[in-house]
Structure 1
């Protein structure tokens, strides 16, 4: 009650809301509170937005825009609770109301046209989850027609975009269905666009993702390489596409490297990893030597649990290069020691594991703050090795255990 009083007081002092009646302010307060909770606490959100809706239905026409907002966010809350039929029901009620206000000149709390589009898009997302693809397609088409960025597209282009969006949504969960839709999109786009158009690159990219999720790696690589060829022609484009071309270009190289890792094709991995590092904004400034050592490190890190011998080979290569070009107490050298230790532990070579874990810890103690989760992790690793495999070293085990706990409590 105190919060309600303070919030309604705030609405009274706000220039945009001071003219509202007490009932309107109360309804707005309940709505704002529910709106803030939709994602994190949908049950509480429903309680508050339904209170707002109840008040608004008492004092406003039933097709007032703010009643549409209530139905919209009740729909969102139900969607977050996976109560999809209820969500669709409320989205459709808000759509009916929004349609009466699309040309209003009045300024509302939200952009009506954008909310109208979102309702269609959210319903399409639900129908996709329910495998009702025809309904999903129809609502996606409507959403594209409303959206400022896509309303200018021809029907064919919208159709191609719909199939593409549907396929993207399914690539991780139902890759076979994803392939069906993205291939339809690709077919349409190849009919109406140049064969090196950026959106055709997007299709090949996501066909590659779907094949990768089906573990059909050769097919995945083939499509990733086709998208790379297309992306290379658009890296300097000023046009704004659905996705960042440079980032997608990097991801293709990174995904191919990931596949080659699974296929133990290490020479190819290095090429594609190096290329990915050269594209990435965070690493493109590195020297060739620094990129090379990062490649070996990443490879080794990936293989620690599954192939510790190969992990040791690559991490030692990384360590060798880093020792040539960096101070011997550089943080990344500590990371190498840590991973070498982990690989030795996985090979049951516990003396070596302890040796490298201690080397890693010595570097971390020099350069990182004492209250650091990384340092706590090193102490935990040592405690674990001593407790399981060096039973005569109980004092050392306890020492590292206590240090890990102390740091964890303070961090």
Structure 2
């Protein structure tokens, strides 16, 4: 048996090593083995039911959970809980053990058991800590997530609203936690397809966040995230003008916080392009894709499938733009009675349509490389439709494309069987 000071020194050194292994090197196995050595020392010197042993057991259990060894994780976490219940009673450390067990249930998809553990932890911490304490608010969120994962959205909203009422009473409306809770409730409303209500709450969250940001009390990136959620719901609503305005706000924040050439900025340009396409604003979509391509080329290179996909999407739009110009010119010539010139322009537009079929085929191949068979089939179908329209079913290229399309469908069915 070690002397007290010697034991403390050895344990502290081992705990320092554990921290390095887990958080600096990302080596959970070494971290766990180091903690197991600590546990042996503590058990020998302090006994099996000491509160220090309980703490180490909880740490080991949480690592085992992250390693996917749930049975061993539960064994360690339940031992930790038993010691704490016996030695400490209704204490924050006891609540921590309940919470860790809840997280383990959650990882296994056992959301009802997880909710019960989080509720027990929450009940204990609410007896000890104020309602706006980060440990209390975190447990409310865990409970709401467990309910949401079970599809119990209304119950999850009720949990958030209990927390919201407590925070409002303590801090009033203009507080970061209030903005965060409005956003959480909005996401649950979205899952219930209550899109108008969700947007209203996100607007309240944005109003609070913007005001706090102006006085330096809110993270600009978080504000950008709220705008992004709003834009996605506006997309879903079909409010495309509103979505365009909101995506542009997201873009401004992304450029300000992470820079013009960041992957997140590229994602926003891509989202903007899609909204422009739905509004038939071809020039805006081409411009957005061009900026996204510039970023992706620097980040991923020309040969990456994401870069290739963006380039092909832009090429499709460029062909579409030129095809429309030729068609409109052809109609104008037809109106003026110059049928020969009109026919020439319509034929040129038709040739561009054939080029679009080839681009769709290349895009389908990229989607296959990305493992996105549903999208690959959709783009292949577009190519086949154009080929049939312009060349006919008996054309050799059409027949080859038909066989390729059937192969994709067969592959999808095999994957699903």
TM-score calculated relative to the size of structure 1: 0.55
2:286 corresponds to which of 294, 306, 319: 319
Corresponding position of 1:258? 232
Contact 1:159 1:185 in 2 (8 A): no
Which stretches in structure 2 are left out of the alignment for 5+ residues?
1-5, 319-352, 388-395, 401-417
Offset, 1:273: 0.5
Name whichever structure is richer in helix by fraction: 2
Distance in 1, matches of 2:257 and 2:116, equals 44
Question: Residues 327-366 of structure 1: matches in 2 within 5 Å?
Answer: 336-340=310-314, 351-355=355-359
Which digits, 9 at most, give the CA deviation of each residue in 1:157-177, with x for residues without a partner?
986665355325544554222
What is the aligned partner in structure 2 of residue 222 from structure 1? 200
Residue 310, structure 1, aligned to residue 281, structure 2: no
Distance change (3 Å), C-alpha of 1:32 and 1:180 = same
The alpha carbon displacement at 1:94 in A equals 5.6
| Contact 2:53–2:80 under 8 Å retained in 1 | no
Q: Which residue pairs with 2:321 in the alignment?
A: none
Of residues 61, 75, 80 in structure 1, which corresponds to 2:47?
61
1:340, 1:356 within 8 Å by CA — same for their partners in 2? no
Deviations 1:189-241 (A, max 9, x none): 333332223222222111101111222211111111111111111114455xx
Offset from partner CA, 1:139-196 (integer Å, 9 cap, x none): 13545788xxxx5x46899866653553255445542221010011122233333222
Aligned partner of 1:91 among 65, 80, 101:
80
Q: Does 1:139 align with 2:121?
A: yes
Contact 2:148 2:156 in 1 (8 A): yes
2:102–2:117 Cα contact (<8 Å) kept: yes
Q: Distance in 2 between matches of 1:68 and 1:294?
A: 46
Distance verdict in 2 for CA 1:135–1:52, change over 3 Å: closer
- Comparing 334-343 with 273-282, greater Cα deviation is found at 334-343
State the alpha-carbon separation in 2 of the partners of residues 191 and 119 from structure 1: 29
2:221 to 240, 247, 255: 247
| 1:298 counterpart = 2:287 | no
Asked if structure 1 preserves the Cα contact closer than 8 Å seen for 2:140 and 2:159, the reply is yes
Matched, 1:130 2:112: yes
SS of structure 1 residue aligned to 2:190: helix
1:7 matched to which residue of 2? none
Deviation at 1:247, TM superposition (A): 2.7
Show the counterpart of 2:154: 176
CA pair 232-32 structure 1, distance change in 2 beyond 3 A: closer
Normalising by structure 2, report the TM-score: 0.54
Question: Structure 1: which 5+ residue stretches go unaligned?
Answer: 1-15, 103-112, 304-308, 362-372, 395-411
